[in-house]
Amino acid sequence: MFGRRSDGWLIKQIDPINAVVPYIMPQRVDSQVMMNFEIDYTKLMRYVAEKKAEGHDIRFMDVIIAAYVRSIAELPELNRFVVNKRTYARKTVSVSFAVLRSNGDNVADVDENTTKCYFDPRDTIFDVSRRVTETIEQARKPDADNPTMKVAEKLLTPMVMRPAVALLMWMDKHGAMPRFVIDASPFHTGLFLTNNGSVGLPAVNHHIYNFGTTSMFWSMGTIKRKVEIDKDGKPVRARYLPIGVTIDERVAAGRVFGMMIRNAMRYFNDPALLETPIETVLKDEGHEAALPKVK
C-alpha cells in the first residue's frame, strides 16, 4: 500500500517528464510501442548445432531469453514496471511463456499451460537453458502443480469471476496483492514470450496486458526466406527469424530501448558472448533483481 509492493521497489529519482507520462497514458494499452527486427537464422542455427554437438541442447528460445536476461543486467531500467502511475524496479528477472502439453494421441488433446521462469541476471546461456528446460518439464507433467491454472479454475463461475477480478485489480493497483497470486500470475512478469513459429504463425506485435506488470511482449515467428545481393553483387539466399516486440514506453527512455535492441542483436549474431557470466550487474537506484527466495 501507499507505493509499497512485494514485487518491486518504488523508483524515487525519476525524470520529471517520465513522472508525468503515466498520468497522460495511465494504462499500458495507451503506451504501447511496437517494433520488429530479424535475426540471422543461419548464424543462430549454426550455433545451436555446434552446442548440440558439444552436448548442450540449446533452443532458439533460450538464446532470446538469455539475451533479454543479459540486457537486464546491462540496462536495469528495462526491468521496471508502472502501476497506479508509479514506477517500480522489479525485484526479480522473469519471463512468462506458454507450454504445449499433450494429453493423448490426438491433436485435439493438446492443451496450453502458461508458466513463468525466473533468472539470475548473472546467468549464462547454459544457466538460462537449464532453467527453461526445468520449467517446461514441470509444466508438461499431467499432474503439474500449476498455480496459474488453480487460480483460474476457482474463478470460472461468472458470479465469482466478476467481483474477484475487480478485487484483484484493485489490490494490484494499490500494492495489496497477495504474494502467492503474484507468483501464480503469468501477467506479473518482465517479459511475456510467445513462439508463434512453433504453430506455423508469423511474428506478431502482441498487446501487453493492463492487469499485472508485464512491460514487454516478444513474439517469435516462422522463418522468412529472402534473396539478397552479396558484396560481389551476386544473389544469395538468406533466412531470418522475425521477432515482434511490444513495449511499455513509460518504463524507460527511448534510448534505453534502442540500446536494448542494439545489444540484443549483438548477442543474436554471436550467442557465444552469452556463455560467459557478466562481470558487473548494474543496479537500479541501488537495487539489484535476484532469484526469488526459496520458501
* Residue 146 pLDDT greater than 70, yes or no: no
pLDDT at residue 47, as a whole number: 96
The percent of residues in the chain predicted with pLDDT above 70, rounded, is 88
The residue that leads in pLDDT, 141 or 264, is: 264
pLDDT at residue 145, as a whole number: 55
pLDDT at residue 94, as a whole number: 97
How far CA 98 is from CA of 37, 125, 203, in Å, comes to 22, 20, 15
Residue 262 belongs to some domain of the structure? yes
Q: Residue 99 belongs to what domain range?
A: 8-275
Identify the band that residue 165 occupies on the pLDDT scale cut at 50, 70 and 90.
confident
Element (H, E) at 70: helix 60-74
Instruction: Extract the runs of DSSP E, i.e. beta strands, from 137-291.
Output: 191-195, 216-220, 224-229, 235-248
CA distance 235 to 230: 6
**C-alpha cell, 63:** 538464446
Residue 256 belongs to some domain of the structure? yes
User: Per residue in 209-238, pLDDT tens?
Assistant: 999 999 999 999 999 999 888 888 889 899
User: Per residue in 150-163, pLDDT tens?
Assistant: 666 666 666 777 78
Query: What residues does 115 pair with on adjacent strands?
Result: 97
Residue 292 belongs to some domain of the structure? no
Q: What is the pTM of this model?
A: 0.90
Mean pLDDT on 201-206: 93
Identify the band that residue 105 occupies on the pLDDT scale cut at 50, 70 and 90.
low
Residue 290 belongs to some domain of the structure? no
Residue 122 belongs to some domain of the structure? yes
User: Per residue in 249-261, pLDDT tens?
Assistant: 999 988 999 999 9
DSSP 71-101: HHHH-GGGGEEEETTEEEEESSEEEEEEEEE
Residue 170 belongs to some domain of the structure? yes
Residue 27 belongs to some domain of the structure? yes
Identify the band that residue 103 occupies on the pLDDT scale cut at 50, 70 and 90.
low
- What CATH number does the domain containing 143 carry? 3.30.559.10
Number of domains comprising the chain: 1
The per-residue pLDDT of the chain, averaged, comes to 88
Residue 291 belongs to some domain of the structure? no
**Residues in Cβ contact with 270 at an 8 Å cutoff, skipping those fewer than 6 apart:** 43
